[in-house]
Chains A and B, each alone.
Chain A
């Protein structure tokens, strides 16, 4: 079965960077795009960007341009999201999410369990 397993919670200081991983299993990794979505405490969902595990340049939400980098490692079926210049407003749960079917690649079907990133001095 499809599984997306994310790395554990992180606590970072303002100005630092964080790198969250999402290890995929149960399907052919390069077949489906992967998204990153975040949710601040008590707030709504915010899309951060999308990466094609088979290659090509990721696409980022304008809000995060210049601060976010999404990469993938096909040898381990893992995607990564790195966010730099962290500020307190970046405190959130970060999710990776995969479409159910490749033709509906902008619909989030499978989700990771979420990674809480806390930014605090």
Chain B
């Protein structure tokens, strides 16, 4: 299976900060990389698919980039509602896998 490694596993940031989360795949996955946001007690919500395509309704402060093995999710100006856990997920292989998650907390 393709291993997905996210970093950092957690971070503390303030409202208005620019936040970057990285995700590395154990092999090349082209642009088959998706990002999800999950809040406590809720199901995940897709933010970005195909590495850089913003899902409809997702604020434009979220953006994704990368291809091959290295990917990033950027929040340009962190808002109070963005404090959550973020997961990457590869959709390249038939065995789908997630990163371990990045928890974004309030500084």
Contact = CB atoms under 8 A, between A and B. Distances in A.
Interface residues of B, number: 23
A45 interface: yes
A44 B1 contact: no
Nearest to A95: B43
A27 interface: no
Interface residues of A, number: 21
A70 to B, nearest CB: 14
B55 A108 contact: no
Contact of B36 (A46, A62, A104, A108): A108
A106 B87 contact: no
Given A44-B100, A104-B49, A111 B91 contact: no
Interface in A29-79: 35, 44-47, 50, 59, 61-62
Interface string A82-112: 0000000000000101001000101111011
B87 A44 contact: yes
Interface in B66-107: 87, 89, 91, 94-101
Given A44-B100, A111-B45, 14 more contacts: A44-B101, A45-B36, A45-B101, A47-B97, A47-B98, A62-B95, A100-B55, A106-B32, A106-B91, A107-B46, A107-B91, A108-B36, A111-B43, A113-B43
